[in-house]
Structure 1
Amino acid sequence: MANSTFLSTNLTNTSLDTTAAIVHMTCFIIIVLSHCTFLYFVIIILRVFFTSANIRETARYVLFIHMILNDTLYLIMAFVLYVASVYYVYIPVPFCYIMLTISTSTFRVTPYNLAVMSLERYVAVCYPLSHSQLCSPRRSTITLALIWTVALLFNLADIVVLGSKVGKNFFSLSVICSRASMTRTTEQGTITLCSLSMSFSAVGLIILYTYIQVVLVARKIGSGKSSAFKAGKTIMLHAFQLMLCMMSFTSSVTETYLRRYQAFIGIINYLLFMCLPRLLSPLIYGLRDDTFRKYMITFRSAAL
């Protein structure tokens, strides 16, 4: 009886391992193909941006291009870290911390960028006469600099706490690079939790407020083809992306309570909640925008 139970357990584990391997390989292929498609659209969008003067001088497109570049950097860094963790590649602590700093900073910048883009649409609809002054390319650049400053402040606090709590020997080690391997104190966990909670709460409130205000204007106009109506749909897409980013918080829960399926839960969480919100950006904003779509079609026709 014991032998039969042992055999059954082994067969079950073998089946799970085989299923996990298939799921893992399938997701990995999807990730590679989706990243290649994403980079293809990014190249076209960047070419349109840098060869079209009127687009470069529009704050909306400056913010959009910044989001595309930020998401590209995040996806590249997240992919490198994921492959390194899967294949147990040991990385020196200083290099690991730099890579994690880039990854976590770009992760935070995404919702900040969504909030600023929502505010730009809000100003365009609710204060059209002041839009060119309040949302100039120069002001957009200053705003982006402030976004990065805020995002990096949390990492600065983290490295100060880490450096004060661990010895110098720690920085001479090589580790499997992950956020967990760099979290050595409870204070670091508190900093991470507070930074993400405050960031997503503030961004969520900004998106909600701007959406309500834009919808009220759209109702006054009463036209389904008005700029206010389109701006409301754009802000809703920002909210959808923010929701997908926030869903990444559930990864720790699923990986804790579904440890039996941890072999493929990790890659599914990575694909759905880390990659998907960023992969959607070129499709949502590049192809939906009439001006960008016209230029993209022109450039693609010229290339062919």
Structure 2
Amino acid sequence: MVNSSVLRDNTTLTTTISSRLLQFIQWTFIPSIIIGFIFFLCFITLVFNIFLKNPTLRENARYILFVFLLINDTLYLFLGFYLMLASLNFLRIPAPLCYILYTFSSGAFKVTPCNLAAMAVEQYIAICHPLRHVELCTPQRANVVFTMICSFVMFPYVAEFCVMASSMTNILNLYIVCQKETLVVNPIQNIIRSISLILFFIMIGVVIIFTYVKVMLVATKMCAESSSASKAGRTVMIHAFQILLCTSPLLTTFTQAYTSKWPDFLPTVHFFVFTCLPRFLNPIIYGIRDELLRHYIKKSLSGYIC
């Protein structure tokens, strides 16, 4: 009996220590997210300042799309961070507000890869149709393309909301913990989500493969490793890598299956690794890669230092 009691006490103590350790690790990730987010905001503020002060950038569709990318990623991080904290603290909010936040957050997640694909198309036009680049890639067309991307991404959520509203449920009158699973009241919603996600990946994949193949064919014909076509091909591949980074949150479905022992610990880790890090790296990757933007960033930083 004594040995049994000691064993139970040791087990309880071990469980308590493990729980406290997980909570400590979880709440150390949150300051890391905040610090990373501050640096991210400082960087995009610098880029916005450069963009607004230089007409060369403001008249270039490539940099307009890049600025849209930063704005969208900022929105996604703000909404994602709020939803994560609300979920961790079991904060209940009205279901319609939850659906609006979920729609904008999930929509912003999909807008970034589409925006990167549009930037790859701009590279394709610049290399394969240089004489028409000025005509096709105007600031006005860049604004139209981004608007079309947002409309395309939001359409499935409108359809999903219509399914929710038409279902025999009172969820729209409830206060709920805001999670995407909580909003599913009809199996058709999961079908809409799956189909839209599959079409989304097919479209992005086709655009990236098409632009890369076309650009590299031009680079091969030019027979110059240092040609602009070769650089454009590498840029398209960087966009493909950025797309993989930005879609990494989809891996949480698989990681949750193998780490189900720590359900309270996972949301913070997943948000930091799969949501924050890819968005933090996006502007840095492009800012370092692009020669003109890198030149302006160095010039601005040297001005601040002096």
Q: TM-score with structure 1 length normalisation?
A: 0.93
Q: Are the equivalent residues in 1 in contact too, given 2:88–2:264 (CA < 8 A)? A: no
**Residues 58 and 164 of structure 1: is their aligned pair in 2 closer, same or farther, counting only changes over 3 Å?**
same
- Match for residue 155 of structure 1? 157
Preserved CA contact (<8 Å) 2:65 2:119? yes
1:66 aligns with 2:68: yes
Q: In 1, Cα distance between the equivalents of 2:17 and 2:234?
A: 45
Change (3 A) 1:23 1:230: farther
Relative to structure 1, is the Cα distance of residues 19 and 136 closer, same or farther in structure 2, using a 3 angstrom cutoff? same
Instruction: Choose from 145, 148, 153 the match for 1:146.
Output: 148
Deviations 1:40-79 (A, max 9, x none): 0110101111111111110111111111111111111101
Which residues in structure 2 correspond to 1:252-267 (within 5 Å)? 252-267=253-268
Query: Secondary structure, in 3 states, of the residue corresponding to 2:165?
Result: helix
Secondary structure, aligned partner of 1:256: helix
Report the secondary structure of 2:264's partner residue: helix
Q: How does 1:95-106 map to 2 (within 5 A)?
A: 95-106=97-108
5+ residue gaps, structure 2: none
CA distance in 1, matches of 2:38, 2:125: 35
In structure 2, the partner of 1:135 is 137
In 1: Cα distance, 2:117 partner to 2:94 partner = 36
> Would the aligned equivalents of 1:105 and 1:152 in 2 still touch at CA under 8 Å?
yes
What is the letter of the counterpart of residue 221 of structure 2? K
* Structure 1 residues 91 and 127: CA distance shift in structure 2, 3 A: same
For 1:9 and 1:196, locate their aligned partners in 2 and report how far apart those are by CA, in whole Å: 44
1:226 — aligned with what?
227
Alignment partners' CA distance in 2, 1:258 and 1:203 = 30
In the TM superposition, residue 136 of structure 1 has moved relative to its aligned partner by 1.4
Q: Are 1:94 and 2:96 matched, yes or no?
A: yes
Instruction: Give yes or no for the alignment of 1:204 onto 2:205.
Output: yes
Q: What residue number does 2:304 align with?
A: 303
Q: Say whether the 8 Å CA contact 2:156–2:196 is kept in structure 1.
A: yes
Please tell me the root mean square deviation across aligned C-alpha atoms, in Å: 1.8
Aligned residue number for residue 123 of structure 1: 125
Distance, in Å, in 2 between the alignment partners of 1:198 and 1:5 is 55
Aligned partner letter, 2:230: F
2:188 matched residue in structure 1: 187
Instruction: Please tell me whether the aligned partners of residues 59 and 135 of structure 1 are also in contact (alpha carbons under 8 angstroms).
Output: yes
Tell me the residue number matched to 1:164: 166
More moved, 294-303 vs 278-287: 294-303
Report if the CA contact (8 A) 1:111-1:200 is conserved: no
Residues in 1 aligned to 2:58 and 2:46: alpha-carbon distance in whole angstroms: 15
Distance (whole Å) between structure 1 residues aligned to residue 253 and residue 5 of structure 2: 36
Q: Point out where structure 1 has 5 or more consecutive residues left out of the alignment.
A: none
Percent identity, aligned pairs only? 35
Map Cα deviations across residues 213-253 of structure 1 (whole Å, 9 max, x no partner).
22222233333332222212221121112222333222123
Q: Which structure 1 residue ranges, 4+ long, deviate > 6 Å from structure 2?
A: none
**How many angstroms apart in 2 are the aligned matches of 1:283 and 1:47?**
16
Structure 1 counterpart of 2:136, one-letter code: L
Q: Note the C-alpha offset of 1:24.
A: 1.0
- Say whether 1:78 aligns with 2:86: no
Instruction: Tell me which amino acid in the other structure corresponds to 1:145.
Output: T
Check 1:121–1:190 CA distance in 2 against 1; reply closer, same or farther (3 A cut).
Answer: same
- Once residues 191 and 8 of structure 1 are traced to their aligned partners in structure 2, the CA distance between those partners, rounded to angstroms, is 49
Q: Secondary structure at the match of 1:225?
A: coil
Aligned residue among 53, 56, 67 for 1:54:
56
**Number of residue pairs the alignment of both structures matches:** 303
CA contact (8 A) 1:251 1:266 kept: no
- 3-state secondary structure, aligned to 1:259: coil
8 Å contact 2:70–2:283 — kept in the other structure? Answer: yes
In structure 2, relative to structure 1, the CA distance for the partners of 1:5 and 1:259 (3 Å cut) is farther
Secondary structure of 2:93's match?
strand
Whichever residue aligns with residue 104 of structure 1, its letter is S
Q: Using the alignment, how far apart are the partners of 1:138 and 1:228 within structure 2?
A: 25
Separation in structure 2 between the aligned mates of residue 11 and residue 254 of structure 1, nearest angstrom: 28
Q: 1:117, CA displacement in angstroms?
A: 0.8
CA contact 2:84–2:267 (8 Å) conserved in 1 = no
TM-score (norm 2): 0.92
Q: How far apart are the structure 2 equivalents of 1:280 and 1:190? A: 32
SS of corresponding position for 2:182: helix
Bigger mean CA deviation after superposition, 263-272 or 102-111: 263-272
Counterpart contact for 2:60–2:138, Cα < 8 Å: yes
